Structure 1
Amino acid sequence: MSRSLSRRRRVGGFVVAVAAPALLVPVLVPLRDQLNLASDVALFLVAVVGSALVGGVLPALVAAVLGATLLNFWFTRPFHTFAIDDANNAVALVAFVVVAMMVGWVVDLAARRAEAAAAAAEIEAADRMRAALLAAVGHDLRTPLAAAKASVSGLLSDDVALSRGDHVALLATTDDALDRLAALVDNLLDMSRLQAGAIPVRLRPVALGDVVARALDDLGVAPRGVLIDVPDDLPAVLTDPGLLERVLVNLLSNAQRFSPPDRPPVVRVTTGDGPATARVVIEVVDHGPGIDGADRERVFQPFQRLGDTDNTTGIGLGLAVARGLADAVGGELVPTATPGGGLTMRLSLPAGEEG
């Protein structure tokens, strides 16, 4: 059974099996007049249990045999020999070996069952994640595909005469559908890479204004669709510009989704000092319905769309991806309440060299 454990755990178990009984000897020898053999046996049994928990049955067997040998040599009369002048002590030592082996086996079995239960729980969680992904993808990826397909089919149809305005409208619908599809696929790919730990990160000092501008271009933001408050004397930030752009795209997309038409989102940048270094703080502010304090961390879980009743807006990965990528570049993303109502996403990044 021990073969299923890692080599490191098996080695650790054997270390405990040898070291623990050996350390008990100098501790218990001075107490031989105060403690009887039963007390000594109980303490050596603890060493057996410890070795079983760490390394399984084989280390427990080693601890049992070594413990019985040390008990015989140091704690049964005559001392410092392997002879035993009292038959009761001989029976006690044999019983110790048997009980120690049984206890070690039971402890090892319990530990393995706990590991199996944990593994089963992980598999169940992964299955739930896959089911949620399939359910979300089944609708949210098909919707923009269907819209794009319908628009293209309309453009190719010879049955209906289309005006130039109709052509423009259908092309705009196709463009919007493909943009939504691309965003969904990007988030799916980012989430899969985050879960696999396969995100390459290349940190360097970057002008934040350039990254914000590229994020707005990616979103195709209309004039005054987002209000920008970025100081001219802002220091550079130490980040991966591509990953930070993805973070801002997802934060801004979420803010636009919930902002009322007459109150566009705001990107506000300030500076401050962190525990170890200067920080640059990016706040993406919306004046939408906001999120209760108890639910703010839930928005970073995949497939969560709190307060979002429009099932065509995404599969609930945007903020989860934003939090994961922010962590990857050494940032800290925290949701707070917007004064007057709404949600503010506060992204703190380490400052780089002066820009």
Structure 2
Amino acid sequence: MWANGGVRTALGARPPEGTGELSRRRVVAAYALAVLGTAVLTVVMTSVGSPSTLSFEAMVFLAFVVGCALLGGRWPAVAAALLAGFSLNYWFTEPLHQLRIASAENVATIVVFLVVATAVSGLVDAAARQTHQARVARREADDLALLNRSALVDDDVPRLLGVLCERFGFASAVLDPPAAPGVPAAPVDGGRFVLPDGWVLTVTGHEPDDAERRVLTAFAGHLALLRGQAELARQADAAHELELGNRVRTALLAAVSHDVRTPLAALKVAVSTLRTPGVQWAEADRQELLATIEEATDRLTGIIADLLDMTRLQSGGVRLALEEVPVEDLLARAAARRPVSIVVPDGLPCVRVDTGLTDRALDNLVANALRHGGGVVELEAAAVGHDVEVRVVDHGPGVPDALKPRMFAPFERLGVSPGGEGVGLGLTVAQGLAEAQGATVTARDTPGGGLTMVLTLPVAPTPPSDQVAT
């Protein structure tokens, strides 16, 4: 979930916006406009030669000063106001072409014009700056909202860092663990943001501006919360796995203490009986005691084999040796080990399985059917699509549909088996061995009563016709 690595992207990248100050090009253009515009307006209004009043020319120049304020801010507008005031005095106020004014009314008009032009330019500049600041604040809110929405719907940090790169146009975004004490951080072409838990968010590609730094600082706090949640989830998973392991070990000890003790006790009694001093046992009694020893040994061997297979499955230690095997051979070997009947149609395709694992899984299914079926067990096979189904059919009490999923849980024994054999791992091991080689084990009801365990095996691929011909 948390990767210590960079996420680089160029999709949807946008260049950083300004900090709120007007660019140098705009300010220079505004000063040029103040000079050239004043000259052009003066030439135009003097060439028209209309008997307009001074207030008309003042209003025209006032509108011109406002335009300079919008383009370059306050100081180009102040320069435009001073130049416009000079033009009004020199070209449009009696006596013309002199820097003196004959009428007090005209003096008042020019003074009022300068005051109003300067005040208006300041107000326009302030309004423009406030508009820009509002736009920056809205952009910050949109950026933070986007990142927070992404963090709410997706806790995959590499993808979140990818969204960060796309939104701000960074070349990469990296979340690193805290550096060792005394180790200086390497310089980067970008910025670093320390999370509350000490981890560091590093972005490269360009230096974040003030607005981006505010957003990234807030987002770093959200990343720290996600890290905390991920750590809590990891600890909860670890605690759950530990609890599950404890339950499994407890069940294993309980099952082994009971199910291993029974055949061991039988072995002890049979061996001690045979070794009784001064007793000459009849051949029939001796053979019965030896049969008891053999049966108890087989039961112990089955229990130990189930435990070893379960350990291999849980540790991922199963190694496959897949090969093409005729289904008839699999069923024949199963029938040689257990008293079952076989029904196999002609023309079944070969299956691609691990012979040893399949024999073990099938043997467990047959043993379970013999233990709980209470009668004859039948082995059937049939081709179904691209698979072959091997069915272990018994006619016992069966299992309700609601309990069928529990049959494959470790140490689960739904029925009462004669003699209490096994530790409840037979079906679990059979399912694990089957799934390890791409097969499946499912439970169905037998028509007329009973349970049918279905081992579905993949059919071996058919070679191309040209390869068969050669």
What TM-score, normalized to structure 1? 0.77
Q: Which has the higher contact order (CA 8 A, sep 6+)?
A: 1
Asked if 1 retains the 8 angstrom alpha-carbon contact of 2:366 and 2:392, the reply is: yes
Alignment of 1:125-274 (within 5 A): 125-218=244-337, 221=338, 225-260=339-374, 263-273=375-385
SS of the equivalent of 2:311 reads helix
Seen in structure 2, the aligned counterparts of structure 1 residues 52 and 184 have a Cα distance that, compared at 3 Å, is closer
Deviations 1:61-96 (A, max 9, x none): 455877995453xx69xxxxxxxxxxxxxxxx55x4
Question: Which amino acid is the alignment partner of residue 300 of structure 1?
Answer: F
Percent identical: 37
Asked if 1 retains the 8 angstrom alpha-carbon contact of 2:176 and 2:201, the reply is: no
- Equivalent position of 2:468 in the other structure: none
Give, in angstroms, the shift of residue 211 of structure 1.
2.2
Question: Which amino acid is the alignment partner of residue 270 of structure 1?
Answer: A
Does structure 1 residue 331 correspond to structure 2 residue 436?
no
Following the alignment from structure 2 to structure 1, what is the Cα–Cα distance between the partners of residues 229 and 280? 75
Deviations 1:243-299 (A, max 9, x none): 111011101001001222xx30110111121xxxx3211100011111111111211
- Equivalent position of 1:88 in the other structure: none
SS of the equivalent of 1:186 reads helix
SS of the equivalent of 1:26 reads coil
- Equivalent position of 1:42 in the other structure: 144
Deviations 1:111-146 (A, max 9, x none): 111111111111111111111111111111121122
Give, in angstroms, the shift of residue 57 of structure 1.
6.5
Does structure 1 residue 306 correspond to structure 2 residue 306?
no
Match of 1:10 among 4, 19, 30: 4
Asked if 2 retains the 8 angstrom alpha-carbon contact of 1:140 and 1:311, the reply is: no
Name which of structure 1's ranges 145-154 and 302-311 shifts more when overlaid on structure 2: 302-311
Asked if 2 retains the 8 angstrom alpha-carbon contact of 1:48 and 1:64, the reply is: no
Seen in structure 2, the aligned counterparts of structure 1 residues 10 and 174 have a Cα distance that, compared at 3 Å, is same
Seen in structure 2, the aligned counterparts of structure 1 residues 311 and 132 have a Cα distance that, compared at 3 Å, is farther
Following the alignment from structure 2 to structure 1, what is the Cα–Cα distance between the partners of residues 297 and 409? 25
Seen in structure 2, the aligned counterparts of structure 1 residues 51 and 253 have a Cα distance that, compared at 3 Å, is closer
Asked if 2 retains the 8 angstrom alpha-carbon contact of 1:148 and 1:177, the reply is: yes
Following the alignment from structure 1 to structure 2, what is the Cα–Cα distance between the partners of residues 283 and 160? 50
Seen in structure 2, the aligned counterparts of structure 1 residues 323 and 290 have a Cα distance that, compared at 3 Å, is same
- Aligned alpha-carbon RMSD (Å): 3.3
Higher Cα Rg, which structure: 2
SS of the equivalent of 2:4 reads helix
Question: Which amino acid is the alignment partner of residue 300 of structure 2?
Answer: L
Seen in structure 2, the aligned counterparts of structure 1 residues 27 and 305 have a Cα distance that, compared at 3 Å, is farther
Seen in structure 2, the aligned counterparts of structure 1 residues 104 and 237 have a Cα distance that, compared at 3 Å, is closer
- Equivalent position of 1:285 in the other structure: 393
Seen in structure 2, the aligned counterparts of structure 1 residues 173 and 69 have a Cα distance that, compared at 3 Å, is same
Asked if 2 retains the 8 angstrom alpha-carbon contact of 1:68 and 1:97, the reply is: no
- Equivalent position of 1:317 in the other structure: 425
Following the alignment from structure 2 to structure 1, what is the Cα–Cα distance between the partners of residues 193 and 452? 56
Give, in angstroms, the shift of residue 152 of structure 1.
1.3
Following the alignment from structure 2 to structure 1, what is the Cα–Cα distance between the partners of residues 349 and 303? 33
Deviations 1:10-43 (A, max 9, x none): 11xx42xx65xx76752997xx969714424414
Asked if 2 retains the 8 angstrom alpha-carbon contact of 1:279 and 1:348, the reply is: yes
Following the alignment from structure 2 to structure 1, what is the Cα–Cα distance between the partners of residues 156 and 219? 10
Following the alignment from structure 1 to structure 2, what is the Cα–Cα distance between the partners of residues 56 and 38? 25
Question: Which amino acid is the alignment partner of residue 414 of structure 2?
Answer: L
Number of residue pairs matched? 311
Asked if 1 retains the 8 angstrom alpha-carbon contact of 2:313 and 2:432, the reply is: yes
Question: Which amino acid is the alignment partner of residue 266 of structure 1?
Answer: E
Question: Which amino acid is the alignment partner of residue 272 of structure 1?
Answer: V
Asked if 2 retains the 8 angstrom alpha-carbon contact of 1:65 and 1:97, the reply is: no
SS of the equivalent of 2:392 reads strand
Following the alignment from structure 1 to structure 2, what is the Cα–Cα distance between the partners of residues 295 and 56? 49
Does structure 1 residue 109 correspond to structure 2 residue 217?
no
Following the alignment from structure 2 to structure 1, what is the Cα–Cα distance between the partners of residues 224 and 208? 21
Name which of structure 1's ranges 306-315 and 60-69 shifts more when overlaid on structure 2: 60-69
SS of the equivalent of 1:172 reads helix
In structure 1, list runs of 5 or more residues that go unmatched. Answer: 77-92
What TM-score, normalized to structure 2? 0.59
Does structure 1 residue 26 correspond to structure 2 residue 14?
yes
- Equivalent position of 2:404 in the other structure: 296
